[in-house]
Amino acid sequence: MPVLIRREDSADVPAVRTLTAAAFAKPDAPSGAEPVEVGLLDKLRGCDAWIPELSLVAVDGSGSGSGSGSGSEVVGHVLCTRGHVGTVPAVGLGPLSVHPHHQRRGVGLALVHSALGAADALGEPLVALLGEPAYYRRFGFRTATDLGVVPPEPAWGAYFQIRTLTAYSPELRGGFAYAEPFNNL
């Protein structure tokens, strides 16, 4: 499926909320229950850690979208927000959301590659995330502790990963801190 990756704009916010709710919906959740990731997005948008250049959407590029114009349906979203390794600025990736009807079609792949490229272009040293190692290794993510970066929760182990970027220096070591809204999950 062809997709266009672009920066999120204010008109995309309702569609991003809807697709994030669909992407993280749990079959056994009570009716009307909103996944925690939806509220997290709202809180991240309203905090100092928000980096507008690193909030990206994937829109259906086939010309058959149901959004405001032909081919404009938002089918995926990724976000990187300000984090820190010790006192050094870095970014944390997540949440990554792809609408269930568009999963396993390369949308997530395109979003992560775009987010990494955009973070690199902004001079960020690394991107950190909590996710499935088998999925994220394809993007060059490695277990963070292998590079001297300690996860916020030690139990995360191999699931807490980093991807170094051009501005990375091996001296960058220490504990990683996500944006404040992540601390209230």
φ/ψ of 130, rounded to 5, equals: -110, 115
Instruction: Please determine, for residue 65, whether its predicted confidence score (pLDDT) is greater than 50.
Output: no
Which pLDDT band holds residue 185 (cuts at 50, 70, 90)?
Answer: confident
Q: Which residue has the tokens 């979203």?
A: 77
| Mean pLDDT computed over 39-67 | 86
Lowest mean pLDDT among 72-76, 83-87, 109-113: 72-76
| Mean pLDDT computed over 163-176 | 97
Residue 167: how many other CB atoms lie within 10 Å: 14
Lowest mean pLDDT among 9-13, 31-35, 84-88: 31-35
Could you report the per-residue pLDDT of 93-129, keeping only the tens digit for each? Answer: 999 999 998 888 899 999 999 999 999 999 999 999 9
Check which CATH number belongs to the domain holding 176 and give it: 3.40.630.30
Instruction: Please determine, for residue 64, whether its predicted confidence score (pLDDT) is greater than 70.
Output: no
**Count of structural domains within the chain:** 1
106: left (phi over 0), alpha (psi -120 to 50) or beta: left
To the nearest whole percent, how much of the chain has pLDDT over 90?
Answer: 81
Could you report the per-residue pLDDT of 129-155, keeping only the tens digit for each? Answer: 999 999 999 999 999 999 999 999 999
The mean of the pLDDT values for the chain is 92
The reported pLDDT for the residue numbered 54 is: 98
| Mean pLDDT computed over 63-81 | 72
The model carries a pTM of: 0.91
Q: Which domain holds residue 146?
A: 3-184
CA distance 101 to 25: 13
| Mean pLDDT computed over 11-27 | 94
Contact criterion met (CB below 8 Å) for 125 and 174? no
